[in-house]
Structure 1
Amino acid sequence: MRGDRGQGGRGRYALTESEHGHVWGVCSEVEGLFREPRRATYEFFGWVPDGAEVRGWVGCRVWLVPEDTTTDPWLLEDAESLGPRPRTDALLLTGMDDYMGPPEGHRAPVRLHDGYRWLGSCREFTRVLPEERATPSLVLRGLSPGDRLRQALAKGTRRALDLGEAWLEIRDDGGEPLTGRLLRPKVRAWRPSSLGPDRIDLELDEELDGPVPGHASPVWDRWLAGPPEGPNAWAGLDTRQREAWLELVRERGCRLEHQDRPAGQLYELDGRHITDEQSLFLALGEAVNGPGGYFGGCEAALADCLLGNFGYTAPGTLLWRNFAPAREYLSQVLTAEGEPYDLVARVLEVLAEGRMRVTLA
């Protein structure tokens, strides 16, 4: 497993008790945060593609839309195609579904889309149960334990070593809050650490719900070093990595305290790199709050940000430069049910409702 160390040995990670906020300990290196998450596998029988074959990475969100309209679509996140099953007419897809698959015994046909285009259809499908595997632990290396953790380790009882609900808080190398993971850690083992005197390596019996997969590691490396100094640092990323970038922007943005600017401000949006939904909200965030800034990651979140506390005070004006790419790529997208709609037009409506006047250039 990969370890991740903060620059200069500073405490990048803090394990904090969630109810009262006391700190169990601080460290600069964690093992178990960066690894591939468990993925569900779906087998689609009688697969008929809509156009090109579905291969490799498929999309951040792939919707399984049942032919029976009384049943809601199901979501498969970060979907990858394993290709056709040999000597069959079936297609294999993997992805995260929070273990919320179709109803037991579902056998009706479904169509699949990735939010932008229809991918294909099948006569029926099934969820293949993942192989059993040992639960990986989370190891906090070089941890400086707090007094309460020292007391718990000294007791050594099962009750004392159950740390309850806690946050693994993650800061960048400048000490600014970046993101976190909610845990229910139980101490599995501890030992003196080679990373310094009076430090320990604390092993927790905890499997993260949201480990950082390999494709997102370069994005995390960039953000752990500190926020970007200039705009459009995400522009060269593919959609999958832009999604990882947007997740960090959202989580960091919701942890920061924003000072709303006075009403009547002019904001400028650089639309040159808007080719997917992720880049639309990244560009909006930087228009309002500067490089790496957050101002909503979906329509509902954008509407919330327009109400205040995220850097904006109504009314304001948004000068949207290079509007053509957004119109080209996002004026014909699909709802979860597969209905076409104009995302750009909807975002313009939300901005207008928030008293943000938009000028297109």
Structure 2
Amino acid sequence: MKYLLVQADEDGVEQLWGRCAGVEGLFADPVPLPREVLTLRGCRPEGLLNDVLAAPDVSLRGLGDVCVEVMDDERSVQWWTLVDAVVVAHRPDPADPARYDIVLGAAVRKEESFVDVPAPQHFELLTATGPAGRCSAVEGLFAPRADPEPVPMELIGCEAAEPVLVGTQQPRRWARDQLDLLVLDRQGAVMASRTVGMAIGGASPSALGEGLEDITLIDGGADRPSPAVRPVWARWYQGPPTEPNLWAPYDAQGREEWLELTTRAWREPAPRPDRSGGEYRLDGRFVTDVPGLHCAMAEALVGPGRYFGREWHAFADCLAGGFAVVPPFTLIWQDSEVARRAPADPASQPQGLSAYFEDVVRLLERRGVTVVLR
């Protein structure tokens, strides 16, 4: 059995719902959101948006993902993401040449809502490179949208506990429940977890043995890894990494998944107390992108396969303590020129890895780390 189905009770104790030999549909790319047309009204652009509007080929220039914060007088009350936003057309406001009406093409994803949308409100725009301007309205943002159709998942060769057995006979009973699907490595340790819906679409006897069932879940969950990262999972299935730089052969997407797998706290038998002082050596030979920087940093500070942040904010939190290492200490960054000279990836690091590298060094020094670049 390679998979466990569990659900936490009111006291947080995990109850076993079933064990499965296989899963079809564990890896699946997210269903793409439909493209829409939106209009930024009365927009005063800055940053990347201002640069794009000034370019002669403006209709061919993308902005990447654009965060739209709906603001009242004091704070952000809603966040939206315009995924892969592209400027389709624009025109200056006749009454104010500093303002524009800008037509965008993008997929729209709602991220967070705190309170009802204020009236009137204004909109702050943010891209990966920083603030992109302010607008008085975003036409098309609040249109009704249907949820994407769920992608099913097949549980193969399941030895089901009573709740699941009842669910296969009366599927509607469990339509609103969610379970955690725990993925085991070859030693039987939990290497990953994914949330799945417990709406059962059907069940049939399994070819793997008498008393086992193949069960179809209508919704296999929205956080499944991409098929492109199967090789990373195959490597982790062999057991927790014990050698450095095993992440190095993968591209940025694979390295991001490597970092995702390091976040599984139950791999650790117990938290280790924070220690400070001493020297740590970072092997910078393979730091060619942002995920690679965090892979190398974690290995330098806490060892292969361990977690020490996977992006800027999480890394800053780890430096504050609670993750085995806390400043002051000395970090010797070997082959630091690799990060300085790595070409920019517009999708993940539009400012270039060099700028991110410099920001990380400054953050470390502010927190009391002595950084030696070699």
Q: CA deviation at 1:351?
A: 3.1
Is the Cα–Cα contact under 8 Å of residues 63 and 115 in structure 1 kept in the other structure?
A: no
Question: Does residue 17 in structure 1 map to residue 10 in structure 2?
Answer: no
Amino acid in the other structure paired with 2:155: L
Give the structure 2 partner of residue 146 of structure 1. 161
Residue 7 of structure 1: aligned partner: none
Q: For 1:132-161, what per-residue CA distance to the aligned partner results, in whole angstroms no more than 9, with x for missing partners? A: 8754332211112235544x35874844x4
Q: Are 1:200 and 2:193 matched, yes or no? A: no
Counterpart in the other structure of 2:310 = 297
Residue 29 in structure 1 maps to residue 29 in structure 2? no
Q: Once the 2 structures are TM-superposed, how far is the Cα of residue 235 of structure 1 from its aligned partner?
A: 3.1
Q: In the alignment, which residue of structure 2 is the partner of 1:252?
A: 264
Residue-by-residue CA offset, 1:303-322 (whole Å, 9 max, x unaligned): 33234442325543221112
Q: Which letter maps to 2:308?
A: F
- Measure, in 2, the Cα distance between the counterparts of 1:228 and 1:56: 41
Q: Which has the larger radius of gyration?
A: 2
Deviation at 1:45, TM superposition (A): 6.9
Contact 1:267-1:317 at 8 Å conserved across structures:
yes
Q: Say if 1:193 and 1:201, in contact at 8 Å, map to a contact too.
A: yes
Structure 1, unaligned runs of 5 or more: 1-10
The corresponding residue for 2:151 is 136
Q: Which residue of 2 aligns with 1:237?
A: 250
Amino acid at match of 1:296: G
- Conserved 8 A contact 2:79-2:112: no
CA deviation after TM superposition for structure 1 residue 199, in Å: 1.3
Q: Is the 8 A contact 2:171 2:200 kept in 1?
A: no
The TM-score with structure 2 as length reference comes to 0.66
Count of residues in correspondence between the two structures: 334
Kept in 2, the 8 Å contact 1:17–1:164? The answer is no
The residue identity in structure 1 corresponding to 2:159 is S
CA distance, structure 2, for counterparts of residue 319 and residue 145 of structure 1: 52
Give the whole-Å Cα distance in 2 for the aligned partners of 1:62 and 1:272: 32
* CA distance 1:247–1:43, change in 2 (3 Å): farther
Q: Deviation of residue 184 (structure 1)?
A: 4.2
State, as a whole percentage, how many aligned pairs show the same letter: 27
Please report how far the alpha carbon of residue 116 of structure 1 lies from its aligned counterpart in structure 2 after TM superposition: 8.6
Gaps of 5+ in 2: 41-48, 90-101
Deviates more, 1:215-224 or 1:185-194: 215-224
Change (3 A) 1:155 1:133: closer
User: Could you tell which deviates more after superposition, 275-284 or 233-242?
Assistant: 233-242
**One-letter code of the match for 2:336?**
F
Higher mean displacement: 44-53 or 192-201? 44-53
Mapped to 2, the partners of 1:315 and 1:206 lie a distance apart of: 47
Residues 37-62 of structure 1, C-alpha deviations (whole Å, 9 max, x = no match):
12222446799947688989986x55
Distance 1:143 1:354 in 2: 50
Query: How many angstroms apart in 2 are the aligned matches of 1:62 and 1:226?
Result: 38
Q: CA deviation at 1:69?
A: 11
Q: Verify the 8 A CA contact 1:42 1:125 in the aligned structure 2.
A: no
Task: Answer whether contact 1:80 1:95 (CA < 8 A) is retained.
Answer: no
What TM-score, normalized to structure 1? 0.68
Alignment CA distance shift 1:134-1:81 (3 Å): same
**Residues 243 and 183 (structure 1), Cα distance of their counterparts in 2 relative to 1, 3 Å cut:** same
The answer on whether the counterparts of 1:39 and 1:130 sit within 8 Å (CA) in structure 2 is no
Deviation at 1:16, TM superposition (A): 0.3
Aligned partner of 2:204 in structure 1 is 191
Q: Distance in 1 between matches of 2:231 and 2:325?
A: 31
Are the equivalent residues in 2 in contact too, given 1:172–1:225 (CA < 8 A)?
A: yes
Q: How far apart, in 1, do the equivalents of 2:224 and 2:163 lie? A: 27
Contact 1:299 1:350 in 2 (8 A): no
Distance 1:283 1:57 in 2: 31
Equivalence for 1:214: 227
CA shift digits 1:102-121 (9 cap, x unpaired): x89x9x99977444999xxx
CA deviation map 1:313-352 (0-9, x unaligned):
5543221112234445699x9xxxx9xx954454335434
* 1:268 partnered with 2:268: no
Structure 1 match to 2:295: 282
Q: CA deviation at 1:284?
A: 0.9
**Secondary structure of 1:34's partner?**
coil
Whether 1:312 and 2:325 are equivalent positions in the alignment is: yes
